[in-house]
A and B are shown apart, each in its own frame.
Chain A
Amino acid sequence: MDDLRQKYLDLVAGAADEATLEDIRLQAVGKKGEVALKMRELGKMTPEERQIMGPKLNALKDEINAALAAKKAALADAALEERLRGEWLDVTLPARSRRLGTIHPVSQVTEEVTTIFADMGFAVAEGPQIEDDFHNFDALNIPPHHPARQEHDTFFMHRDEGDDRPPHVLRTHTSPVQIRAMLKQGAPLRVIAPGRVYRSDYDQTHTPMFHQVEGLAIDRDISMANLKWTLEEFCRAFFEVDEVELRFRASHFPFTEPSAEVDLRCSWENGQLKVGQGDDWMEILGSGMVHPKVLDASGVDSTQWQGFAFGIGIDRLAMLKYGIPDLRAFFDSDLRWLRHYGFAALDMPTMRGGLTR
């Protein structure tokens, strides 16, 4: 019995392929195999002998079968391994190409700005880019022939002969959206209005089209100190720093009173802007308390309501934050520029995840 066992286990262990294994199986545990023949002999044995030999033979059969199965699996594994060895590929070859789209910095920064102000409860207001005289100038306390109008380098729309209405303009600022928002929604109100604006100016640092975001907050008791806080919070969040310092300087805009230019403490080192530290001050925006005449022109009772307004250049914010040197390149659509300064499709600024990666 033990010889038999050893013989077949050795044969199984030494088999080189499946066909040999099958031969061994037939020889050992097949119907006419050696183990089967032994089993037939059981009938001739005494019941006592059969009691002992029966289980032994069964165990032997099982053991050989198990050895056969194990060997069969091992042979299959070896064959597979052999095949896979032949299926070697140069994995350093480039993958199938996939186009990578980008988001323009103006869109990205606009989303950053709206995200921050949305958190402070400012909705996003909109208005047309071709504006009438009333919304772009009159309602903003810039009457006709006021010198401030000349300083706007306004683009005018063509008027046909005989059409004596004052020409429409390409809005020179986002401030007319203030008027539209107040006329539509009244007070109290908190909105920002990002969008394209136009001035007839083209040189190193000016393009005839650029982007601004207007901010407006109207309530019973909003003060210029609230404005300063709001802008400080905005700058802190936008530039993603712990501290910022703003300086208000008296200035003049026809639609605010008092008016202030706002400077941001910063330093420039090797062309890199650091916000919140250093000895330089950089002018970043204009702001002020909404002029009573503007409130009244927008149907908001200036004896009951007051508030602030500000305007920031979006392109300029993008240039400062991301170190983009030339404004004119924003509108040139040079693929190299779009890829270099653009943002990934899913780089969505949020307050919970942060504005930038």
Chain B
Amino acid sequence: MKFTLSWLKDHLDTDASVEEIAETLTDLGLEVEEVVNPADRLSAFTLAKVKTAEQHPDADRLRVCTVETEDGDKQIVCGAPNARAGITVVLAKPGDYVPGIEVTLSVGKIRGVESHGMMASERELELSDEHTGIIELPSGEVGEKFIDWLAANDPAKVDPVIEIAITPNRPDALGVRGIARDLAARGLGTLKPAPEAKVEGTFDSPIGVTIDEDTQGDDGCYIFQGRLIRGVKNGPSPAWLQQRLMAIGLRPISALVDITNFFTYDQNRPLHVFDADKVTGSLRIHKTTGGEELLALDERTYTFEPGMVVISDDESVESIAGIMGGEETGCTEETVNVFLEAAVWEPIQIARTGRALKINSDARYRNERGIDPAFNPVAIELATQMILDLCGGEPSNVVTAGAVPDTDRAYKLDTDRCSSLVGMDIPADEQRASLEALGFVMEGDMAHVPSWRPDVLGEADLVEEVARIASLTKLEGKPMARASTGVPKPVLTPMQVRENTARRTAAALGYNECVTYSFIDAEAATLFGGGDAATMLENPISSEMSHMRPDLLPGLLQAAARNQARGFMDLALFEVGATWHGGEPEEQRLAVSGVMIGATGPKDVHGASRPVDLFDAKADAEALLAAMGAPAKVQVLRGAEGWWHPGRHGKICLGPKKVLGVFGELHPKVLAEMDVKGPAVAFTLFPEEIPMPRKSNATRPALTISDLQPVERDFAFVVDKDVEALTLVNAAAGADKTLIEDVRVFDEFTGGALGEAGQKSLAITVRLQPTDKTLKEKEIEAVAAKIVEKVQKATGGTLRS
């Protein structure tokens, strides 16, 4: 919402400076976005007088002038046809910035003659589009500042423009008068009396108005008033009106249209004018049946869906009610008979229709936020008066359909509430005075809400108004006691702690944390098991962000590809965050993923750098799971989703259905599709799948350690190539559960004759820990034999000779 200072002063009697006003508006909740003071860019220019004007020796159209300035006589070359001796002009001196031509002047030579500045046209100073000659002022002294002259003689030209952001609850502040009312309530001036008019009609309007029964009141239109004014003379509106509209960025069109725009901004009162000669018969407000079309004032054709409220004449739809008029019946310079409309529409209907038709007009903006319904009969009189004043003509009686809706409601003003809710102590009479200044009518404790404040709907709103006018700047902080005394309890849930632990652990393992977008492109989503309609956005910001991510890996792989393109080939990235397997709120799942690509580090003198492999990913996955409290004993199964290398991945499970996470190498085809230069290893873990510990107290189980010497024995087995080490280890460990403390694989050999025979050798170290007496060789051999037997039974392997 934009307005000028002088426009504000139509409604507010104040001496406050524009800075004070701007500060106060922001404090009142009408946040100032910008103040543009035209005086700022004109402040350099002064008045001067042309003493002589001679023909330029080398140019027919140029004159060499002697100009009397505050710095003495100066020679200025000028091309304007009206440059002549005796006129008072506006001088721009060397060093001055001329806004209209975006040039900082310097002393120059024009066709061989020196020129010390320029005499400006209105366009050069951005005062108007006028550029047929330089400005000639009817008065003024040499050396006088041009802005001072303007302020005295043509104040509109140096009128500061204030732009404020209006929150949706304050439609009343979409009119200059509403803004003035807020300022007056704060005490920054006095609200001037409301303008009044009462124009008697001299005949009955030949155009009648009806509202269909299914469109009345809450169903579409509360009241529609109209009046014919015949014999008007439309044309450009007067300069003051044009200037006002231009100052706030509106294009003057014609007097009749400009008048409607004036009321839109002056009192938040959208109006419409029909060219009465183009209206066939009478006007009918009704709902569309669907399929009707209208060429609107924005020169676009709209097709209506069923149930939109429109205004039709006897032939066709002529206006989209409360949103935009039709081109056909719009007023032009030739209009002589005009039908003026002032109506109150149901706001939700306006919002719905406006959104469906994608029209953003000033009228829609205001009508959907809510205009003052009680002002309707007044507005039609004021607008008629203005039309008569500017265009002449003869008014009909007012035709009315519907009635002004009753918005009267009252809430109890509890003057203690301000103290208990806001924490500000404001005297009761001041509270009442604030409300009255805003237009509330006090009846005892009851505050009747003014018709222009649809947002006030309860007692809390009264407190808000009182506090707002008193100024929240004055609010002082008051300590809030803790909810409980003593040492505070921890506030994080175990899952929140688990999430933090995962994040810190991953970083400690050398991964860089990424935060990638939750939405990714359809192709990437599809590669990772998503990309379906349920997880699709209806209105994505781009096709790169169309689906909720089914997994964290695609986002991390895209990040990896971007980093590879920047020349970073060794990467370890991770993310902790939500993934989605459906479009319902509960179909969200927490995941922890890491991706590693390239080498373990840069090549170095120690030869320590090597390509990362899936066992790096496995180690990190295990470390993270352990940190998050997963049990040490897990199963490693195969058969994870298709984005993993089919033979190089494992699912870390507690039983076949309880998957804690997956690690492995990523499928080369998926990497290629994601433009990642592989190979790449990764893991994805699901913290919510890890069982919560049954924590009764912090006590650890007792530590049992033996003083007896443990014994280690190595075994090498020849097994078939596809026998998994874990099977062998578990078999060996099962040979004597009390004596065998640990079984570790320390070698795998697949080469030579073994490899050709489809076999491999797996070597294990078994650690025996006696508990009551030192082991004798015979006992050790007995266990060894049992181990060999168990392994053979489980894997078909034999002891390697």
Binding site for B on A (CB under 8 A): 93-94, 96-104, 106-107, 111, 114, 118-124, 126-132, 135, 144-148, 150-151, 155-160, 167-168, 170, 188, 190, 196, 198, 200-202, 208-209, 217, 219, 221-226, 228-232, 246-252, 254, 257-261, 289, 291-293, 306, 330-336, 338-339, 342, 344-346, 348
B539 on the interface (CB 8 Å rule)?
Answer: yes
Complex CA distance for A22 and B763, rounded to whole angstroms: 49
How far is the CB of A304 from the nearest CB of chain B, in Å?
A: 13
B604 to A188, Cβ gap below 8 A?
A: no
B615 on the interface (CB 8 Å rule)?
Answer: no
How far is the CB of A79 from the nearest CB of chain B, in Å?
A: 29
B247-255, B309-317, B383-391, B529-537: which lies at the interface: B529-537
B351 on the interface (CB 8 Å rule)?
Answer: yes
How far is the CB of A222 from the nearest CB of chain B, in Å?
A: 7
How far is the CB of A130 from the nearest CB of chain B, in Å?
A: 5
Complex interface: chain A residues within 8 A of B608 (CB): 96-97
Complex interface: chain A residues within 8 A of B711 (CB): none
How far is the CB of A134 from the nearest CB of chain B, in Å?
A: 10
Given contacts A107-B503, A155-B540, A223-B420, contact A259 B458 (CB under 8 A): no
Other-chain residue from B473, B559, B566, B584 in contact with A248 (beta carbon distance below 8 A): B473
Complex CA distance for A209 and B170, rounded to whole angstroms: 29
How far is the CB of B252 from the nearest CB of chain A, in Å?
A: 28
Given contacts A229-B480, A250-B472, contact A128 B588 (CB under 8 A): yes
Other-chain residue from A130, A132, A348 in contact with B548 (beta carbon distance below 8 A): A130
Question: For residue B514, which residue of chain A has the nearest CB?
Answer: A333
Complex CA distance for A188 and B535, rounded to whole angstroms: 36
Complex CA distance for A98 and B602, rounded to whole angstroms: 10
B41 on the interface (CB 8 Å rule)?
Answer: no
Other-chain residue from B421, B533, B583 in contact with A130 (beta carbon distance below 8 A): B583
How far is the CB of A122 from the nearest CB of chain B, in Å?
A: 7
* Interchain residue pairs with CB less than 8 A apart (25): A93-B605, A99-B511, A101-B506, A101-B509, A118-B490, A121-B482, A121-B483, A150-B355, A155-B537, A156-B539, A157-B534, A158-B583, A167-B538, A200-B541, A223-B421, A223-B423, A249-B27, A249-B31, A254-B169, A257-B463, A258-B421, A289-B421, A333-B515, A335-B566, A342-B513
Complex interface: chain B residues within 8 A of A247 (CB): 473
A251 to B167, Cβ gap below 8 A?
A: yes
A257 to B473, Cβ gap below 8 A?
A: no
How far is the CB of B566 from the nearest CB of chain A, in Å?
A: 7
B78-86, B283-291, B492-500: which lies at the interface: B492-500
A260 to B511, Cβ gap below 8 A?
A: no
Complex interface: chain B residues within 8 A of A254 (CB): 168-169
Complex interface: chain A residues within 8 A of B556 (CB): 333
**Chain B window 181-214, contacts with chain A (Cβ cutoff 8 Å), 1 for yes, 0 for no:** 0000000000000000000000000000000000
Complex interface: chain B residues within 8 A of A217 (CB): 480
Complex interface: chain B residues within 8 A of A338 (CB): 512-514
Other-chain residue from B463, B472, B476, B533 in contact with A260 (beta carbon distance below 8 A): B472
**Chain B window 447-477, contacts with chain A (Cβ cutoff 8 Å), 1 for yes, 0 for no:** 0000000010010110110011001110111
B44-52, B89-97, B571-579: which lies at the interface: B571-579
Complex interface: chain B residues within 8 A of A120 (CB): 480, 482
Complex CA distance for A315 and B606, rounded to whole angstroms: 41
Complex CA distance for A157 and B540, rounded to whole angstroms: 9
Q: What are the 9 A-B residue pairs with the smallest beta carbon separation, nearest first?
A: A225-B423, A99-B510, A250-B29, A229-B477, A333-B559, A97-B601, A252-B167, A101-B507, A345-B507
Other-chain residue from B169, B538, B602 in contact with A159 (beta carbon distance below 8 A): B538
How far is the CB of A284 from the nearest CB of chain B, in Å?
A: 14
Complex CA distance for A289 and B463, rounded to whole angstroms: 11
- For chain B, give the interface size range: 35 or more
Complex CA distance for A190 and B480, rounded to whole angstroms: 12
B477 to A249, Cβ gap below 8 A?
A: no
Given contacts A155-B539, A158-B536, contact A252 B168 (CB under 8 A): yes
Sample of 16 more A-B contacts, CB < 8 Å, known A249-B31, A289-B421, A336-B566: A96-B601, A103-B513, A107-B513, A127-B585, A130-B587, A148-B168, A155-B539, A168-B583, A225-B477, A228-B478, A229-B479, A230-B477, A249-B473, A250-B471, A335-B566, A345-B504
B368 on the interface (CB 8 Å rule)?
Answer: yes
Question: For residue A106, which residue of chain B has the nearest CB?
Answer: B515
The listed residue with most B CB atoms (<10 A of its CB), out of A222, A333, A339, is A333
How far is the CB of B166 from the nearest CB of chain A, in Å?
A: 9
B580 on the interface (CB 8 Å rule)?
Answer: yes
Complex CA distance for A102 and B509, rounded to whole angstroms: 10
B28 on the interface (CB 8 Å rule)?
Answer: yes
Question: For residue B571, which residue of chain A has the nearest CB?
Answer: A335
B491 to A124, Cβ gap below 8 A?
A: yes
Given contacts A93-B605, A106-B515, A251-B31, contact A222 B491 (CB under 8 A): no
B795 on the interface (CB 8 Å rule)?
Answer: no
A160 to B473, Cβ gap below 8 A?
A: no
Complex interface: chain B residues within 8 A of A150 (CB): 351, 355
B518 to A209, Cβ gap below 8 A?
A: yes
Other-chain residue from B167, B423, B562 in contact with A334 (beta carbon distance below 8 A): B562
Given contacts A123-B491, A130-B585, A339-B512, contact A252 B170 (CB under 8 A): yes
Complex interface: chain A residues within 8 A of B517 (CB): 208-209, 331
Complex interface: chain B residues within 8 A of A228 (CB): 423, 475-478
Interfacial residues of chain B within 421-452, with CB under 8 A of chain A in the complex: 421-424
B420 to A221, Cβ gap below 8 A?
A: yes
Question: For residue B556, which residue of chain A has the nearest CB?
Answer: A333
